[in-house]
Amino acid sequence: MSDKFFFKGRQDARQKHIKYGYEGKLYNKPSSKKLPLQLIVTSETRKAEVTKLATEAQMYVDITVDLSEGAVESIAELTTLLNKAETVKVDKLPGRNDPCVCGSGQKYKKCCG
């Protein structure tokens, strides 16, 4: 990297992480192939519905059917990931010397800014 005699920094980029197989949080995301969602449903028809929802969203799930009385369905993780809000994009404000967006004809800094 550097041919200077005074350089005391790291010569190779983080070989320790490569050597020990370090993987960041990106690979441990829920509903991935490595870490599928664990869901519980109460019937076979509901299992088919949930499987269809998961495949449309390209998620990996492990579904267990619980046929006992008083069984409670547990698909909260799936609904949370499916109803995730998208990123809000804000339009850029006009520059100080641009015409005002309200249509007054004045500069933005004199009118609404």
B/e letters for 32-65, b = 16+ CB within 10 Å, e = fewer, are: eeeeebebbbbeeeebeebeeebeeeebebebee
Name the domain count of the chain: 1
- For the entire predicted model, the pTM comes to 0.54
Instruction: Specify if 104 maps to a domain.
Output: no
pLDDT tens over the chain, length 113 residues: 555 555 666 555 555 555 555 556 656 778 888 889 999 999 999 999 999 999 999 999 999 999 988 889 999 999 999 998 887 776 787 888 988 888 888 988 888 86
* Contacts of residue 73, Cβ cutoff 8 Å, sequence gap at least 6: 40, 41, 42, 46
Which residue type, as a one-letter code, is found at position 86? E
Is 9 among the domain residues? no
Please check whether residue 100 lies inside any domain of the structure: no
| Domain residue limits at 72 | 31-82
β-pair type (37-41, 61-65): parallel
